[in-house]
Amino acid sequence: MIDKIKNMTRKQKIIGASTAVIIVALIIFLIFKIFWVIKTPTLTLVPPAPIEVSNRDEIIIDIVLSDLPKNIYPAASSTLGFDKNKLEFTGTKLGTMMTHGDVTIDKNSFDIPLWNCNVENANKGGQINTMYLDMTAGKYAYSNEGFDKKSKNVVLRLGFKLKDSAVKGEVYNITIHDAVMATVNGDKEKTSLATNQNTLRAKSCKIVVKK
């Protein structure tokens, strides 16, 4: 092996060294990417089972959070897109993830908040803008104490219904365009979870109409 290297031309050595550098760089990038995917909290839209085109029952989609670091999150928001020609948005529903509650009643009190959303505007534009805001900036905030990866991980639920224009075999995307779980000093301390800052990942889903 050493003799082969010695017998290489200068050009061959340069090409070999460059190739080795590229391979090492790719390995480092892949390791970093895998580490980022594992460590970064993720919001996931849980898809419903495929439905019949004649079904007019409400379709519920859970928005699940994989992890919540130990901070106080008094504000949260998300922007989602859907096909307004095929789906009717019926509103937000309670999840299972909790905020702090009224400590004057119980120091260990927790609540499940209903996120604000203008349903009429959402159906006009095919975009859902929904948010939770703790007006006390901390008293009723989300925190790790009200979160559990298995039983208290549903941030909120979204309701939809198929419209008469739905067609057998079609697939309708529900897409997370933007999402934030904000801390009070998140901009300065970089502690907020946000998709546009790569501190929060998002996984969208589809509503599938049976053929």
Selection from 170, 169, 183 nearest residue 211 by Cα: 169
Give 133's strand partners. Answer: 75
**pLDDT per position as a tens digit, 35-89:** 444 579 999 999 999 999 999 999 999 999 999 999 999 999 999 999 999 999 9
Q: What pLDDT does 35 receive?
A: 41
Distance CA 134, CA 142 (A): 9
Contact 105, 151 (CB under 8 A): no
For domain 42-208, the CATH architecture is Sandwich (2.60)
- pTM of this prediction exceeds 0.85: no
Q: Which burial class, exposed, middle or buried, applies to 175 when counting CB atoms under 10 A from its CB (0-12, 13-18, 19+)?
A: middle
Pseudo-torsion of CA 85, 44, 137, 159, nearest 10°?
40
Contacts of 57 (CB under 8 A, 6+ apart): 161
Contact 172, 113 (CB under 8 A): no
Q: Which parts of the chain sit beneath pLDDT 70? A: 1-38, 103-107, 137, 186-188
